Chains A and B, each alone.
Chain A
Amino acid sequence: MKKKMNIPIMNISIMKLALCFLILFTFSGCLGGREINDLEIVIGMGIDKDESTGNILLTAQVVKKEEVGGSGKGEGGGESKVFWNVSSIGNSIFDAVRQITHKTGDRLFVSHNQVVIFGKDIAAEGLQKYIDFFLRAHEMRPTALILIAEGRASDIMDVKPETEKFPAINIAKLIKSYGFTSHLYKVNMKDFASCLMSATTAPLAPLVSLSQNKDDKDIYVSGMVVFKNGKMIGKLNQEEVRGLLWVLGKVKGGVIIVSSPDKQGNAVLEIIKAKSKVTPEIKNGKIAMHVSIKEESSLAEQSTTENLATCPAFDEMQKASAEIIRQEILAAFNKSKELNADIFGFGEILHKKYSKKWKELKDNWDDIYPTIELKLEIETKILKTDLLKKPAFPSNEGE
């Protein structure tokens, strides 16, 4: 008597399915999970030149995981640092990144890197050869902000901010809030690299400085650094940066102070909106850039007793603010001519419109750039006076 052996079709399909899953997990190569505990979360990196050896000094700001949440726990022990600036010296950046594991014990986890700060000596030497790693490494964020330290990057990263826990995140916050003043603008790795690759456009990066007031150290952004061929060649101050941003159309907000029509005090305007349009023109071999700017603002503050909410006053203030904008733009333009660096990206604009002529222009752009003429057309408009219609003074009209 034989027992019936019937293999249902089900079993075969189950075997097929199991095989599929086996293949999935053996061939996928995705088995490299890492527990969060084992991560050294890097939130900021600084690159300096080691003074004695001339090698690269890498400072990584690593989160001290056990200290972060415990503001309540460690009360008695005073303030303990929640971050750790660990540094190492290497021949290349990647070498230094790997060298750091001698100190941290774990590989750095750089996906959350917020800022990369280059020391001034590195910037002067040329960023091109240092930036490669940050663009190439797959863990690196292309949106990490790029900054230049006025002194050494490691000093900047040591300054403990008052409200934020981490210096790197604080610096990133400083840069990201540029819209309130338009005195700088944020440049990330991707933007910087695309400017680097352009033949004409000069990249810029914010410059962070350290101010020392007795024991208190503070960080502030003092302007932007201009690069040419990857090397730092100069610096734009805050007004010049805004002049540049007017042309680029990147002004998001900020304050324009004009003297009031009665010359007794000031009227302060807040920029609400700004637009720009750049049209290149080549006439008789001379290049002119027509820049038209439309700006809208509101009256945010006044320091005179005069009622500024009148048509003649508005007209006058609009004219005055247009003049200030013009001054700022010209300051930036003159500075760029002085440095002979195309910070406005005029080269690219010409390339788009006059692509045939561009081939001739491209090769001696350095000679052509200082000869470019700038034609400005600025239109300003004050839209509102916010909550007050009259200043808080006794009215001297009527009677």
Chain B
Amino acid sequence: MFGYIFKKIRYLSLKNKDKSMLQDTIAKKNSEPISSDLERNLEVIKGILSDSSDVTIHEFNFGHDRRFKGALIFINSMVDKEEIHKNVLQPLMYGTLLLNKDIDMDFTQIDTIRRNLISMIDNLKVTLLSDLLDNLLAGATILLIDGSKEALVINPGKRESRAIDEPGTEAIVRGPREGFSENVNVNIALIRQKIKVPDLCVEKFIIGDKSKTDIFIVYIKSVANPKLIEEIKKRLSRIKVDAILESGYIEQFIEDNPYSIFPTISHTERPDKAVAKILEGRAAILIDGTPFVLIMPMVFIESFQSVEDYYSRPFLASIVRVIRFLSYIISTLGPAIYVALTVFHQELIPTQLLISIANGRERVPFPAILEALLMLFTFDILREAGVRLPKSVGQTVGIVGAIVLGQASVEAGLISPIMVIVVSSTAIASFAVPAQTGSGTILRYIYLVLAGLAGGFGVIMGLLATLLHLASLRSFGVPYLWPIAPLDFSGLKDTFIRMPLWTVSKRPKAIVWSDFDSYKQSPDLMPSPNGEGN
């Protein structure tokens, strides 16, 4: 029996070894230099690309006497053929014809072609087969010349991308309407348009053995903590995966506490939000292929801030922020407190309310905890169904859900009307803090079960455990509960309420790396009618 298992394990490991050897040989083959024989090069490339049908290899002769041989290799779908035709093929094939016969140019030299014939800016010379392939697969066109050991990589720069659109997940009333798109170059441009300083660093990484995804770290050198950047680079460099398909992949590979239900890296679709955070000394990670930009480090209160808080005047913004805190509390504790009160602490409910709750629950056959779980579960099903369904069908789900949840279940005597109020207010409240929806949902169930088991005592134990956990969290060295714990009065200006912009003159202390450049604005900006600050 054990022998069989060992044999199996040994077989599997050997099999893996075979595979890795295979990969090694491919890698070895790829790192060969390009030979001067065009035919041979083409054969090798064809072999590696396994005759993919969308790879075009166009062989041609050029020069005034057609004595040079060349080949263009590109992937059909990724290349703007018009551009290649106009700027590469035409000069090579017709342009050379017009040359004076006496000027005998040696077109086996790539540099000669590059300097004299190709009218495209984005090109470079490669000598290794592997570089050639990387560029080819990234969408470049390769020019090979017979007799040259070098190849020219021409990037016509065509790429399908969505127009800049209003971000779907972070709609606001007042503020810019543009959002990031899937094209990382566009995204960098959106950031560059908002920060015009020379020390805005955009550092490139390529991650993913198969996807070779472009990843950019964007930060301001004089503001961001160099240790933070170093740490991010270190964490990024240890990612060895096949593919990075979305920013979530990166997030899960580099976050501080993978077992925590609280996110320690924030993400956004809004350039203005990303820029605001970069200006505070944070670093953004832009990933090609997704409109979501990762921003780190993250603190807990960031979840309760919205860019619009800073665009509208401070009074309403402060109230709205308090409402967000309250709604997070309601969304996590609502059902738990209801269950704890009605099952364990009935004496705390005002008499009249107790009587009406009792009246509502009279026909309900389930214990309160089961009733609450049932309702929450139904709500989560509805939400999930509503998110995944096409918009037109989604509305139907909403109506059915409202009727099933709200009315029919009460009339059937399965659910008490007050439970419907509790769960629906919880549900509404849970949408007020989008960044913590995940943690809120999990906490809601945990607290509810604790309340069902041990009442208010259980809820308080759960709260304490959550608090301990939150206090222990770090995001890239920054305490997650900053500025509440550790207490930082200057940071509190922008926590529970938002003080007017002219009072907040310093960058967040926990994130910015030194006192040098800790002021983001002059400290005496309070407006007054005679034009001078106080």
Chain A interface (Cβ < 8 Å from any Cβ of B): 1, 3, 10, 17, 21, 24-25, 28, 30-37, 39, 41, 43, 63, 65-66, 68-70, 109, 111-112, 114, 139, 141, 169
Contact = CB atoms under 8 A, between A and B. Distances in A.
B454 interface: yes
Given A10-B259, A41-B358, A66-B362, A35 B454 contact: no
Nearest to A63: B355
A65 B347 contact: no
Q: Main SS of the interface on chain B?
A: helix
Contacts of B343: 33-36
Interface stretch (B207-215, B422-430, B455-463, B525-533): B455-463
A40 to B, nearest CB: 10
A65 B458 contact: no
Identify the interface centre among B347, B357, B358, B457: most chain A CB within 10 Å of its CB: B358
Interface in B320-345: 342-344
Contacts of A169: 351
A30 B355 contact: no
A65 B356 CA distance: 8
B461 A24 contact: yes
Contacts of B454: 24-25, 28, 30-31
B89 interface: no
Given A1-B9, A30-B457, A36 B357 contact: yes
Contacts of B355: 41, 63, 65, 68
Contacts of A63: 355, 358
Interface string B353-383: 0111111111110011000000000000000
10 contacts: A24-B461, A30-B344, A31-B453, A36-B343, A36-B346, A36-B368, A66-B363, A68-B356, A69-B356, A111-B346
Given A30-B344, A31-B453, A41 B361 contact: no
Contacts of B465: 17
B346 A66 contact: no
B4 interface: no
Given A1-B6, A24-B461, A66-B359, A37 B347 contact: no
Contacts of A65: 355, 358-359, 361-362
Nearest to A14: B259
B346 A109 contact: yes
Given A39-B358, A65-B362, A68-B358, 15 more contacts: A1-B9, A17-B465, A24-B461, A30-B344, A31-B453, A33-B344, A33-B455, A35-B367, A36-B357, A65-B361, A66-B363, A69-B356, A69-B359, A111-B346, A112-B347
Contacts of B361: 35-37, 65
Nearest to B452: A33
Nearest to A113: B351
Which 4 A-B pairs give the minimum distances between C-beta atoms?
A111-B347, A33-B343, A69-B359, A65-B358
A41 B364 contact: no
B19 interface: no
Nearest to A32: B344
Nearest to B351: A112
A34 B341 CA distance: 10
A68 B359 contact: yes
B115 to A, nearest CB: 58
Nearest to B352: A169
B86 interface: no
A359 B135 CA distance: 106
Contacts of B360: 69
B42 to A, nearest CB: 45
Given A35-B343, A36-B346, A69-B359, A41 B354 contact: yes
Nearest to A33: B343
Contacts of B453: 25, 31
A140 to B, nearest CB: 10
A84 to B, nearest CB: 13
Contact of B347 (A10, A21, A68, A139): A139
A43 B350 CA distance: 12
Interface string B1-32: 00000100110010000000000000000000
